[in-house]
């Protein structure tokens, strides 16, 4: 299988200046991720699951270790890459899905969802048609497609968020609690889309409050709980 991500000895902590201490988020994390694999992050609240995702995405800087991303341009250490290179990879090869939508004022739902395709060179009308397809797939009412997501409910915003994040297949996709606020039909649409991306070779790593939502997709797990094994395969879990 094609190697996509090779994480070596990754650690992250935060300085608690008002307490004069440093709090470790996670320490010495190592794993690999190949094309088409789905890796689940487990652990109690506060174990560092979301922090690990944000460190891999380079929203946070790692304290130590390497994040070797095998991009279409070659191997890039995301822990040390220049911001301009990280920005380019986010636009073209690395996706991140959260439960929160960052919607710009006076931008319609369909334009927001179509934007990743347009930035990748897809003609505007073709990008809009694809955006409408995915808005429909995630259950956003047609009457809302031309409306501004800033006026939507939390659940409707999340559907727009998913359509935008998943419209353009990526080499690496990170998912941070993407099923929060979703109704059953939208969760089913999400699982269908993730399965499609998995079959196409997208490598995925995610955090899910209800892992059963993605049970059929999971290949391996990492438990960030203290003293837990670093990695488990689905076969290990079954035993």
Q: What is the pairing mode between strands 3-16 and 94-97?
A: unpaired
The DSSP output letter for 59 is: S
Q: What are the φ and ψ backbone dihedral angles of 53, each rounded to 5 degrees?
A: -60, -45
How much is the pLDDT for 13? 83
Residue 14's φ and ψ, nearest 5 degrees, are -130, 140
pLDDT of residue 18: 64
Q: What is the pLDDT of residue 153?
A: 87
- The pLDDT score that the predictor gives to residue 82 is 96
- Return the pLDDT at 48: 87
What is the full per-residue pLDDT of the chain (239 aa) written as tens digits?
Answer: 899 999 999 999 876 656 667 677 889 999 999 999 999 999 888 788 999 999 999 999 999 999 999 999 999 999 999 999 999 999 899 999 987 767 788 899 999 999 999 998 999 999 999 999 999 999 999 999 999 998 898 888 889 999 999 999 999 999 998 887 788 899 999 999 999 999 999 999 999 988 888 999 999 999 987 554 444 444 444 43
Q: First-to-last CA distance in the chain?
A: 25
- The pLDDT, as a whole number, for residue 235 is 47
Nearest by Cα to 79 from 5, 164, 23: 5
* H or E element in which residue 164 lies: helix 154-166
pLDDT at position 21 is: 73
Within 10 angstroms of residue 164's Cβ, the number of other Cβ atoms is 25
């Amino acid at each position: 299988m094609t190697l996509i991500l090779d994480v070596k000895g990754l650690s992250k902590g935060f300085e608690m200046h008002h307490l004069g201490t440093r709090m470790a988020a996670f320490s010495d994390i190592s794993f690999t991720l190949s094309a088409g694999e789905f890796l689940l992050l487990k652990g109690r609240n506060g174990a560092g699951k979301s922090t690990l995702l944000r460190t891999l995405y380079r929203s946070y800087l790692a304290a130590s270790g390497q994040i070797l991303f095998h991009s279409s341009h070659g191997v890039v250490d995301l822990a040390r890459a220049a911001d301009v290179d990280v920005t380019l990879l986010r636009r073209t090869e690395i996706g991140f899905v959260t439960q929160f939508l960052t919607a710009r004022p006076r931008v319609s739902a369909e334009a927001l969802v179509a934007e990743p395709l347009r930035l990748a060179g897809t003609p505007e009308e073709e990008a809009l048609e694809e955006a409408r397809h995915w808005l429909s797939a995630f259950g956003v009412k047609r009457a809302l497609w031309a409306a501004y997501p800033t006026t939507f409910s939390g659940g409707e915003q999340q559907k727009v968020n998913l359509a935008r994040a998943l419209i353009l297949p990526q080499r690496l996709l990170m998912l941070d609690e993407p099923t929060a606020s979703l109704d059953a039909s939208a969760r089913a649409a999400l699982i269908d889309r993730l399965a499609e991306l998995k079959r196409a070779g997208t490598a995925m790593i995610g955090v899910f409050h209800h892992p059963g939502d993605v049970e059929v997709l999971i290949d391996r797990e990492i438990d960030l709980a203290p003293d837990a094994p670093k990695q488990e395969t689905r076969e290990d879990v079954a035993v």
